[in-house]
Amino acid sequence: MSSNSIWARMWKKRQIYLFISPFFILFGIFQLTPMVWSFYLSFHEWNGLGAPEFIGLGNYRFLLRDKVFHSALRNTVIYWLANSLAIIPLALILASLLNHTWLRAKRLIRTTVFLPYVTATVAVGLIFNMLFDYNSGLINSLLELIGLAPVPWLTSVQTSKLPVIFLNIWRITPWHALILFSGLQAIPHDLYEAATVDGAGALRRFFSITIPSLMPILFFSFITLTVDAFRIFTEPYILTQGGPANSSISIVQYLYINGFSIFKLGLASAVGYALTLILLIVSFGQIIAMRRESGLMEGN
């Protein structure tokens, strides 16, 4: 098909393209252009003033030997593992309770359960900061009541990541519980009735019917948790500011510091694309594992 005929067809349907053009214009201005510009900057050294200085792969080589970046990457992986191991099981248990027939006032309870997710993260972070305060926090007060010594949650290298993990679990679990709850409602009750007739107990029905039926939704939750964990910023920034000694800093916080605190914009751009590459590799590995688990790989 010649280019003239393509343009002729587009001109014939110009009203349609006119209506959808705002999306592409805004996408080009606010997303595509910054993406291209940041990719260009990742090969340069620039502080926001003057002309960028080309340094090739210098920013990426710096990341490979920078101990702060290594700490940020290690902390982010810990946040990801903690989210995956805690949030999905908790969300599944919560969704199962919400889906139970004996539950009363279901709409009120579902709304209450979902409130942590819609609450402003900054406001919740400030509250958690007060809860985990060493001198006057509620958590240490409860520990002292049962005879335990107070813990420097926010100021110790060993414990600084725990409040961040607790806040993230408390805030995100309701969202995944709601997703899994919708999946539970889509499972036919006939399957459970047939399994009960065959003598299957509650535990057997859960692992033989519920889990396999929810596998696509669990996979979606796992992917979503991965993306959320690798771009976590507000929680460590509000609770610990990444400290002490970078023990709770995340990759996005490392990016923020380089880009907006010390104005190493080229290095910050390189961090952004390094994070994108890491997410692509992790997500691709998850997709391959899911396809193998589901028996969808070629040859199975």
Ordered structural domains, the chain, with CATH: 66-294 (1.10.3720.10)
Rounded to a whole number of angstroms, the distance between the first and last alpha carbons of the chain is 40
Distance between CA atoms of residues 111 and 92, nearest Å? 17
Distance between CA atoms of residues 76 and 252, nearest Å? 9
Which pLDDT score, from 0 to 100, does residue 274 have? 92
CA angle 104, 110, 112 (to 5 degrees): 105
Which pLDDT score, from 0 to 100, does residue 210 have? 83
Give the whole-number percent of the chain exceeding pLDDT 70.
Answer: 94
Which pLDDT score, from 0 to 100, does residue 2 have? 57
Q: Tell me which residues of the chain have a pLDDT lower than 50.
A: 296-300
Which pLDDT score, from 0 to 100, does residue 257 have? 92
Give residue-wise pLDDT tens across range 168-196: 999 999 899 988 988 888 888 888 778 88
pTM summary value: 0.85
Which pLDDT score, from 0 to 100, does residue 103 have? 67
Please check whether residue 241 is in contact with residue 235, taking contact to mean a CB–CB distance below 8 angstroms: no
